[in-house]
Chain A
Amino acid sequence: MKDSTNGDLSRREFIGGTGAAIVAVNATTATAQDRDAAEARAIAEVPRTRIEITVNGQRQSVDVEDRWTLVELLRDHLGLTGTRIGCNRGECGACTVLIDDEPAYACSTLAVWADGRSIRTVEGVERDGKVSTLQQAFIEHNAPQCGFCTSGQLMSATALLERNPSPTAQEIREALSGNLCRCSNYNAIVEAVQAAVKMGGA
């Protein structure tokens, strides 16, 4: 490890010295056991509700904190990380899932509101272990650049083709207008949806 004196404190000293700050923090709780007990109590006090929810065809009963959003439930507690969070406040559409076949922003939907509803995510789009027609078209037409908006675009497009199997280009743009793509790969995404229409639907 090299010593650099760029700064008031050498960085080697800094790395060695950071432990002191932590001792100070830990000293505010008597022992690790007390700390863990306090944490467990705090978490237990958070209001919770049991909901019945169908996710990608599987009905399940889940104990959720009332403050959890649907995307939080999906990503952090059901392991479905294919749904992305871009803004967490209803601006970008990266978290779009289908609730009873309608596209919705999962970041702006509380998990408790999904009680009794049926949710579809990108993980539920494949059929019999094969990608859907739309997914195949997304692959062939380079619909993802960085790929972060892709799940949301795909879910909005899936809902569109399920209710309208032969949309016009303008209808596609309108249906996907709630899904931002900062790579601005909009032309390719619309072409991919049009190709899926030709290939026979969602």
Chain B
Amino acid sequence: MAVDPMKTLGQDTPRVDAYERVTGRATYNRDIKLPGMLYARVLRSTVPHAMVRRIDTSKAEALPGVRAVMTHETHKIPYGSGSISGGRQYSDPHKDITTRLRYTFNEHVRYVGEPVAAVAAVNRHIAEEALQLIEIEYDELPFVMDVEEAVAAGAPEIWEGGNIAHDSENRQQPIGGQTGDLQAGFSEADQIFEERFTTAFIQDAQLEPRSSLAHWEGDKLILHTPTQGVSNCRHDTARDLGLEDHQVQVVCKYMGGGFGDKNGNYYFDLIAAAFARDLGVPVMVELSRKDDWLGTHGRWHTVQDYRVGVKDDGTVTAIEVNGKSGMGPYLRRSGNVSGMDVYACENTSKAILPVHTNRMVSGNFRAPAYPQGYFAISSMMDDVAYKMGVDPVQFALKNMVRPTETKQFTNYALDQCIAMGAEQFDWQRRWNPNPGSAEGPIKRGAGMSFMMFNARLGASSAIVRAASGGRYTVYVGVTDIGPGAKTTMSMLAAETLDVPLSSVDIVWGDSDRCPYSVGESGSRCTTMTGFAVVEAARDLKRQIDERGLPTGDDVLIASATPAPSTNGKLREGFGAHFAEVEVDTQLGDVRVTKYLTVHESGRILNPLPALDQIRGAVIQGIGQALKEDVLYDTNTGHPLMTGYYFARHLTHLDVPEIENTFIETDDGYGPYGAKTVGESGIIIAPATIANAVYNAIGVRMKDLPITRDKILEAVA
């Protein structure tokens, strides 16, 4: 199913703000200066678990240039209105009933890096100096860093009632559920396989260290902060401070990297707001790189135990997973693990326990529950395929999910992605049917994996305006975190209005000037906010057709808040990845020599940045597969890496060229059939690399990241 060419959509289009981004003119949060602005810094806990016995700020307060010091004794501000933030996408009732309240400063500190005090001063040097003058005594408590130990009998209690995280009704129970009949599925099986997989914590590590600039106009808070969702950040902040939404304005024009965990507010937004309110001047809270590393979030680490039943003909009859996700001491996001539904097998059981530890807090990172889930289930199935003597591609085609009477898709392209990828990659030639059999110290191998990812529809708003002279303005609450949302929204309006892109202006990143947007997370911005732009533009075009273009100072305005649905059908994007690696069995290095992807993401609205969303996400996923981790000294509870250097992020020298093909379709839903692109590329990259490493060395690597030491141990 191909798509018809369009005038604006589908054309490679440089981003509408590319000029600002390449000339340094784009204003990121720390570039903003307001008259009389103070700088604030946050002091953090140096112990993993303790009660603050005494905190003495007198010396810091006496330092000339210090204007205020804040601690749990002076300010008790709930953060995330309990434990979960993320605006209207999370239920407000839960925030009212939660029994595990988190504050901006907690007397009971639960991880190294937890905020314990903040200082506002006339410049950042004085603020930093003052932090060192704050004296704190802790009554240290036993701590726990491992998810298994955290739920064992006698473990230190991070929260009263035990270390299993609460769900939205304050219950401690696993995420998941059953489909079909698991026992019948295992009875039907000729062979049953069991395996344990683990994945590491991955810091989002956005390049822009976070900051928040607050000032007040009377009872109204104006907050400049790097957020993926001005609307959700406003709602969170208002709730936490006991304000109405309209009393908070959130502004974010540019921000240096999103990756999922910024669609809400942060504690430093509340610190900035409180300082600014108290002192009557603008206050900018700045996080250092180390602050940002310790004091924000990353992908939750997991332990996953799989059990799979297979018939002799290679049909999977039962899948069971029991797992634990490490959430750190506060629950910010779900802790779920995904991937099982890409298989046709109907007899399944999933039980994932989100567990508190005294590590840094986990949160969302690009496809939050997916890469770690797909790594485990795809490695498991790859292993089963080899053990059953089946080519992994054939095993995939046999067991992948397919449309059925009860499982209908708006369109389906998984088989096509796998087949096209295998052909383009030359799977038969590159794949070694006898893993690890290659001669010599450098062993070559190939691996593959396949995925689907929900291309959700849902409510979002947009306003489109026509003015005289043929100028059009789109008002959308997006911030353009990197994928090019401002450009996509402008292109959707231009196409729908049938006008040149150059006649469309955009107003963005300001909760006072733009209507509600779900924000840029969950790959929903184009499908939801983009659909609202199309609906509003259609309405405006009808108005123009009826009344003509406005003249003089007159304007025509249309708004839309559509909430489309797929009438029970599944709407998914599909993909298949293929990788070839060379493993140096003497040094333990893994070099990716070829990486090829095929994605079906509906109609591709702007091919230029869409390609780079896939390529960048794949490279992040390769980093997750081979390098990234946050290691802890388990004796002290301190992390061993607090920035880029030891975390081994990939550089220009480490990355292969990623080849991608989009299979374009229009399923009749979403904006001109567009689906999701932003997260799709990362989902199966770790799995694909791990499967290729297996094919090269003949040993299954079950623990991410697959670092040199693990390779050397495996081949020793």
- CB-CB under 8 A from A22, the residues of chain B are 68, 278-279
Chain A 163-202 interface 0/1 with B at a Cβ cutoff of 8 Å (1 = within): 0000000001110111111111111111000000000000
- CB-CB under 8 A from A87, the residues of chain B are 209, 289, 643-644
- Check if B18 is an interface residue, CB within 8 A of chain A: yes
- Check if A57 is an interface residue, CB within 8 A of chain B: no
Per the bound structure, the CA–CA distance linking A144 and B254 in Å amounts to 12
Known contacts A28-B62, A91-B644: A188-B612 contact under CB 8 Å = yes
Give the distance to chain B from A161, nearest Cβ to Cβ, in Å.
15
Give the distance to chain A from B146, nearest Cβ to Cβ, in Å.
28
Task: Determine the residue in chain A with the shortest Cβ distance to B277.
Answer: A18
B482 in contact with A183 (CB, 8 Å): yes
A131 in contact with B23 (CB, 8 Å): yes
A67-91 CB contacts (< 8 Å) to partner B: 67, 75, 80-89, 91
Per the bound structure, the CA–CA distance linking A177 and B649 in Å amounts to 11
Known contacts A82-B24, A145-B612: A21-B18 contact under CB 8 Å = no
- Check if B295 is an interface residue, CB within 8 A of chain A: no
- Check if A30 is an interface residue, CB within 8 A of chain B: no
Give the distance to chain A from B630, nearest Cβ to Cβ, in Å.
15
- Check if B75 is an interface residue, CB within 8 A of chain A: yes
A12-61 CB contacts (< 8 Å) to partner B: 12, 14-15, 18-19, 21-22, 25, 28, 35, 38-39, 41-43, 46
Interface hub of B77, B208, B240, B279 (most chain A Cβ within 10 A): B208
Q: Which of B133-141, B171-179, B651-659, B700-708 contacts A (4 or more CB under 8 A)?
A: B651-659
Residue in B101, B206, B255, B279 whose CB lies within 8 Å of A182: B206
- CB-CB under 8 A from B258, the residues of chain A are 146
A145 in contact with B242 (CB, 8 Å): no
Interface of A is mostly: loop
Chain B 12-44 interface 0/1 with A at a Cβ cutoff of 8 Å (1 = within): 001100111111111110110000000000000
Per the bound structure, the CA–CA distance linking A82 and B18 in Å amounts to 14
Interface hub of A15, A121, A172, A189 (most chain B Cβ within 10 A): A15
Give the size range of A's interface with the partner. Answer: 35 or more
- CB-CB under 8 A from B616, the residues of chain A are 145, 183-185
Residue in B18, B25, B208 whose CB lies within 8 Å of A148: B208
A91 in contact with B608 (CB, 8 Å): no
- CB-CB under 8 A from A173, the residues of chain B are 652-653
B172-231 CB contacts (< 8 Å) to partner A: 205-209, 219
B24 in contact with A81 (CB, 8 Å): yes
B23 in contact with A135 (CB, 8 Å): yes
Count, A-B residue pairs, CB within 8 A? 236
- CB-CB under 8 A from B244, the residues of chain A are 1-2
A186 in contact with B19 (CB, 8 Å): no
B633-689 CB contacts (< 8 Å) to partner A: 643-645, 649-653, 655, 657-658
A147 in contact with B21 (CB, 8 Å): yes
A146 in contact with B612 (CB, 8 Å): no
Q: Which of A3-11, A98-106, A108-116 contacts B (4 or more CB under 8 A)?
A: A3-11
A143 in contact with B482 (CB, 8 Å): no
Interface hub of B69, B101, B209, B256 (most chain A Cβ within 10 A): B256
B208 in contact with A3 (CB, 8 Å): no
- Check if A151 is an interface residue, CB within 8 A of chain B: yes
A184 in contact with B655 (CB, 8 Å): yes
B653 in contact with A177 (CB, 8 Å): yes
A92 in contact with B612 (CB, 8 Å): no
Chain A 112-136 interface 0/1 with B at a Cβ cutoff of 8 Å (1 = within): 0000000001110110000100010
Task: Determine the residue in chain A with the shortest Cβ distance to B239.
Answer: A4
Task: Determine the residue in chain B with the shortest Cβ distance to A5.
Answer: B96
- Check if B67 is an interface residue, CB within 8 A of chain A: yes
- Check if B115 is an interface residue, CB within 8 A of chain A: no
- CB-CB under 8 A from A64, the residues of chain B are none
Residue in A1, A35, A89, A143 whose CB lies within 8 Å of B243: A1
B405-446 CB contacts (< 8 Å) to partner A: none
A151 in contact with B75 (CB, 8 Å): no
Give the distance to chain B from A179, nearest Cβ to Cβ, in Å.
7
Known contacts A25-B67, A180-B207: A187-B240 contact under CB 8 Å = no
Per the bound structure, the CA–CA distance linking A89 and B101 in Å amounts to 35
- Check if B349 is an interface residue, CB within 8 A of chain A: no
A6 in contact with B653 (CB, 8 Å): no
- Check if B564 is an interface residue, CB within 8 A of chain A: no
Give the distance to chain B from A158, nearest Cβ to Cβ, in Å.
12
Residue in A143, A148, A176, A190 whose CB lies within 8 Å of B22: A143
Give the distance to chain A from B114, nearest Cβ to Cβ, in Å.
18
Give the distance to chain A from B406, nearest Cβ to Cβ, in Å.
39
- CB-CB under 8 A from A15, the residues of chain B are 241-243, 277
Q: List 16 A-B contacts (CB under 8 A).
A: A6-B96, A14-B76, A18-B74, A18-B278, A22-B68, A22-B279, A28-B62, A75-B31, A92-B207, A122-B23, A138-B22, A139-B15, A139-B18, A142-B612, A146-B254, A185-B615
Measuring CB to CB, which residues of chain B are less than 8 angstroms from any residue of chain A? 14-15, 18-28, 30-31, 58, 61-65, 67-70, 74-78, 81-82, 95-96, 98, 101, 103, 122-123, 125-126, 205-209, 219, 239-244, 247, 254-259, 274, 277-279, 288-289, 481-484, 608-609, 612, 615-617, 619-620, 623, 643-645, 649-653, 655, 657-658
Measuring CB to CB, which residues of chain A are less than 8 angstroms from any residue of chain B? 1-4, 6-12, 14-15, 18-19, 21-22, 25, 28, 35, 38-39, 41-43, 46, 65, 67, 75, 80-89, 91-92, 94, 121-123, 125-126, 131, 135, 138-140, 142-151, 154, 172-174, 176-190
The 5 closest A-B pairs by CB, nearest first: A82-B24, A11-B242, A148-B256, A145-B482, A147-B21
